[in-house]
């Protein structure tokens, strides 16, 4: 039997909740395409919490199936239900999904840093500043990711709260109209597509349940982190909708960053916008590292690779290539690919969850797992 060095370690519930919640919130609040999201009106304070709820339902479904059938983690479940070949195919599909999920926040923060603060610096130079941090975190493993996320979670909450406090005079409820933002059909479509903001983090927890001391703790962490993320997304998007009209939001790449020119009265001697942006950027680095690690961990398990660390290198290079292709204009020739991911990326995570859950219910429990505790 191959001895696996997955660098999962052990972390507590607070570390796991912090890691998953940061990843969900960063993806939900910073990577949405403004034109397609806000052009017909702002309904994100409705669609994002609903998307979190749908993702949570899928997560609870598969964790309940794991409990009933005695599986300890998603990879074991995948191997038993689909065999080696099927497991490898699903792992490759999910690896592509995790690569896109890591690409989105890292690309967006490179774009933000260039546009707001470092216009004279090339995209490549900014990427070279951010990407090594993600690689190191992914290399260090799951426990290091959780402990780093725990340190940043409170700081990020404080920075976000202060940002809205100093912008309180700009808040006016009339900007929310029309209240639902657009048609019911559009709200439903956006809700389903935006589940891709929450599913990768929950899938990451499923893959690394051993690092959370078992599936019972993993389920607890997943439920709490999804609920917390849904609440944060609701409050932030609601307040943004009262600071900016939906027509303004449709032209802003990162509206949350725009309110961070912290002023007191009419003076601007105390500006913390750069500090706030650096903190949020670090959240993007943590998110990218978590998804790189999760893709590498699942791939290593499925292909029986003894050490996860060599796997992180090609995944990181793939993510870097995707980001550089975006800024070199190559992706504009394949805009349909990015649009497809934005609209249908949730399928990459939702279909394996549903398929594996159904297969596990129809298949006998793996021998020796019947008495596995939660």
pLDDT digits (tens, 9 = 90+) for 260-275: 654 544 444 456 677 8
Task: Tell me how far CA of residue 105 lies from CA of 58, 197, 245, 284, 341, in angstroms.
Answer: 23, 10, 24, 5, 14
- Which pLDDT score is estimated for 63? 95
In this predicted structure, the answer to whether residue 138 has a pLDDT above a threshold of 80 is yes
Higher pLDDT, 33 or 273: 33
Confidence bin at 102 (pLDDT 50/70/90): very high
User: Does the model's pTM come out above 0.85?
Assistant: yes
**pLDDT at residue number 3:** 60
Contact 94, 298 (CB under 8 A): yes
Q: How confident is the model at residue 10 (pLDDT cuts 50, 70, 90)?
A: confident
Q: Show the CA angle centred on residue 188, arms to residues 352 and 255, nearest 5°.
A: 95
Classified by CATH at the fold level, domain 13-351 comes out as Amino acid/polyamine transporter I (1.20.1740)
Lowest mean pLDDT among 94-103, 241-250, 360-369: 360-369
Measured N-to-C along each axis, helices 199-207 and 44-69 cross at an angle, to the nearest 10 degrees, of: 20
What are the extents of the domains in the chain? 13-351
Give residue 332's pLDDT.
61
Summarised one tens digit per residue, pLDDT across range 92-101 is: 999 999 999 9
pLDDT score, position 371: 43
Q: Which of 76-85, 218-227, 234-243 has the highest mean pLDDT?
A: 218-227
């Amino acid at each position: 039997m191959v001895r696996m060095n997955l660098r999962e370690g052990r972390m507590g519930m607070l570390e796991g909740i912090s890691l998953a919640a940061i990843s969900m919130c960063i993806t939900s609040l910073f990577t949405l395409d403004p034109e397609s999201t806000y052009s017909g009106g702002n309904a994100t304070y409705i669609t994002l919490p609903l998307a979190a709820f749908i993702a949570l339902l899928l997560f609870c479904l598969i964790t309940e199936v794991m409990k009933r059938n005695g599986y300890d983690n998603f990879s074991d479940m995948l191997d038993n239900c689909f065999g080696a070949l099927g497991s490898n195919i699903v792992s490759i599909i999910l690896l592509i999904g995790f690569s896109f999920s890591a690409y989105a926040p890292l690309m967006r923060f490179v774009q933000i840093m260039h546009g707001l603060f470092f216009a004279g610096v090339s995209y490549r130079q900014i990427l070279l500043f951010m990407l090594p941090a993600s690689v190191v975190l992914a290399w260090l493993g799951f426990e290091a990711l959780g402990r780093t996320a725990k340190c940043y979670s409170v700081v990020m909450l404080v920075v976000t709260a202060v940002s809205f406090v100093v912008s309180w005079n700009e808040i006016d409820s009339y900007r929310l109209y029309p209240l639902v933002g657009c048609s019911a059909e559009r709200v439903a479509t956006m809700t389903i597509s935006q589940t891709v903001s929450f599913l990768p983090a929950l899938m990451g927890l499923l893959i690394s349940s051993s690092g959370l001391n078992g599936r019972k703790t993993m389920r607890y962490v997943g439920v709490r982190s999804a609920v917390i993320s849904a609440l944060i997304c609701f409050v932030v998007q609601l307040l943004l909708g009262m600071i900016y009209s939906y027509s303004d939001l449709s032209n802003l790449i990162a509206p949350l960053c725009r309110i961070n020119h912290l002023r007191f009265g009419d003076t601007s001697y105390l500006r913390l916008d750069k500090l706030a942006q650096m903190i949020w950027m670090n959240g993007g680095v943590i998110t990218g590292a978590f998804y790189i690690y999760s893709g590498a961990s699942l791939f290593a398990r499925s292909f029986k690779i003894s050490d996860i660390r060599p796997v992180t290198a090609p995944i990181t290079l793939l993510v870097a290539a995707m980001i550089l292709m975006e800024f070199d204009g190559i992706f504009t020739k394949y805009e349909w690919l990015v649009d497809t991911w934005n609209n249908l990326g949730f399928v990459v995570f939702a279909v394996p969850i549903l398929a594996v859950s159904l297969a596990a219910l129809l298949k006998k429990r793996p021998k020796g797992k019947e008495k596995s505790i939660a």
